[in-house]
Amino acid sequence: MKAILCKAWGGPETLVLEEVASREPDAGEVKIRVRAAGVNFPDVLIIQKKYQIQPALPFSPGAEIAGDVLSVGTGVMHVKPGDKVVSFCGVGGFAEEVIAPANVTMPMPPGVPYPLAAIFSLAYGTSWHAVRDRAALQAGETMLVLGASGGVGLAAVEIGRAIGARVIAAASTDEKLAICKQHGADALINYSREDLREAIKRESGGKGPDVIFDPVGGKFAEPAFRSIGWRGRYLVIGFADGEIPALPLNLPLLKGASIVGIFWGEFAKREPQLNMKGLAEMMTWMREGKIKPLISKSYVLADAPQALMDMAARKVIGKIVITP
Ligand SMILES: NC(=O)c1ccc[n+]([C@@H]2O[C@H](COP(=O)([O-])OP(=O)(O)OC[C@H]3O[C@@H](n4cnc5c(N)ncnc54)[C@H](OP(=O)(O)O)[C@@H]3O)[C@@H](O)[C@H]2O)c1
């Protein structure tokens, strides 16, 4: 079977497509024919040894997939060969086949196409855990989303809207902001053109947002935090900008505000039932038309390096998918 391989730490251009031996699953594992794999920013980081998890070389990136079960290891009862499944495999998804742990593999929701099933868990799971579970965003509150047209950003915009909050989307281009508006944002800030603090003040009626969702970090974190409302919750999602910001601790004191760290992969492992509750709630919202995940582009397996280059170059809107 063919697989995209990371054989040495480096950027997406160092990835190679190779024929590799197929193996059978061990106990507690499932072998899956990959039909679609979601692309996420952590895939860009993991191949450069810049992610929390560092797999042994060589490995295939690709954290989440949808596909068909080929075979199961001993002890696996909840899925069988021929079943359509989704899996949060962590790595290995950019390949024709993946061996995934059974405990992160579940039956695909009926009627959902492979690409949509593949891109849903990580981005929407992260944003639900952050916005609904950790920040407990309420109807009528205001949430600012930075990097709002990206994978987790656009998911946060939709979730905020589904909850009934007022959502302020901030992004770097008007094209990206137009997509945020289509997906439910009430107000828009172009942070490559406007002063972020002034714009937040204007769009939150001088009060400051109750919740700030930040997957970008870098130079926007401090001005955003300085603008947060009383009892605000600042969600630390990631650092797509590349720089991990440092905040003076007098700022949360002055606003009675919380800094809330988010690590979805660990949450999904430690609290699988709550994670499933979140995914189920969002499936309901999807059926009701309250959320409409955007897959803006599909790439064949050989173009997976290009997909990661596009993501690193800030060219992606919503979600992108690899279809082997
Ligand atoms: N904590 C968790 O559990 C968790 C889970 C998933 C992802 N994450 C993290 O969340 C972040 C976003 O992930 P994603 O999959 O949503 O990525 P994405 O789709 O590429 O979105 C990232 C957004 O960040 C903005 N950005 C600003 N500076 C950037 C730069 N130098 N390079 C690339 N993007 C830049 C871009 O929007 P503008 O151009 O509009 O600024 C882009 O839309 C990443 O840091 C990722 O590691 C964390």
Q: What is the mean pLDDT of residues 282-302?
A: 96
| pLDDT, averaged across the chain | 97
**How would you classify the pairing of strands 187-190 and 64-72?**
unpaired
Coil/strand/helix, residue 152: helix
Q: What is the mean pLDDT of residues 92-102?
A: 97
Can you name the residues that pair with 29 across neighbouring β-strands?
A: 101
Task: Quick: pLDDT tens for 196-207.
Answer: 999 999 999 999
Q: Is the minimum distance from the CB of 176 to ligand 1 under 6 angstroms? A: yes
What is the rounded CA–CA span in Å between residue 244 and residue 204? 26
Q: Is the minimum distance from the CB of 134 to ligand 1 under 6 angstroms? A: no
Q: What's the farthest any 2 CA atoms get from each other in the chain? A: 60
Residue spans of alpha helices (H) in the chain: 41-46, 114-128, 151-163, 174-182, 196-203, 221-226, 250-255, 264-270, 272-287, 304-312
Share of the chain above pLDDT 70, in %: 100
Domain ranges of the chain: 2-108+294-322, 123-264
User: How far does residue 82's CA lie from ligand 1's centre (Å)?
Assistant: 35
Task: Quick: pLDDT tens for 213-234.
Answer: 999 999 999 999 999 999 999 9
pLDDT for the residue numbered 216: 97
pTM of structure: 0.96
Q: Is the distance from CB of 188 to CB of 169 less than 8 angstroms?
A: yes
Q: Whose CA is nearest to atom 21 of ligand 1?
A: 150
Mutation choice for ligand 1 from 237, 296, 320, CB with most ligand atoms inside 8 A: 237
Q: Is the minimum distance from the CB of 146 to ligand 1 under 6 angstroms? A: no
Task: Quick: pLDDT tens for 26-67.
Answer: 999 999 999 999 999 999 999 999 998 899 999 999 999 999
What is the rounded CA–CA span in Å between residue 37 and residue 75? 26
Domain 2-108+294-322 grouped into CATH 3.40.630.30:
no
pLDDT for the residue numbered 52: 87
Q: Is the distance from CB of 69 to CB of 32 less than 8 angstroms?
A: yes
What is the rounded CA–CA span in Å between residue 97 and residue 115? 16
pLDDT for the residue numbered 247: 94
Q: Whose CA is nearest to atom 2 of ligand 1?
A: 263
Identify the architecture of domain 123-264 in CATH: 3-Layer(aba) Sandwich (3.40)
Q: Is the distance from CB of 57 to CB of 4 less than 8 angstroms?
A: no
Residue type, 161: R
Q: Is the minimum distance from the CB of 238 to ligand 1 under 6 angstroms? A: yes
Q: Is the minimum distance from the CB of 60 to ligand 1 under 6 angstroms? A: no
What is the rounded CA–CA span in Å between residue 81 and residue 193? 53
Comparison of pLDDT for 149 and 110, the residue scoring more: 149
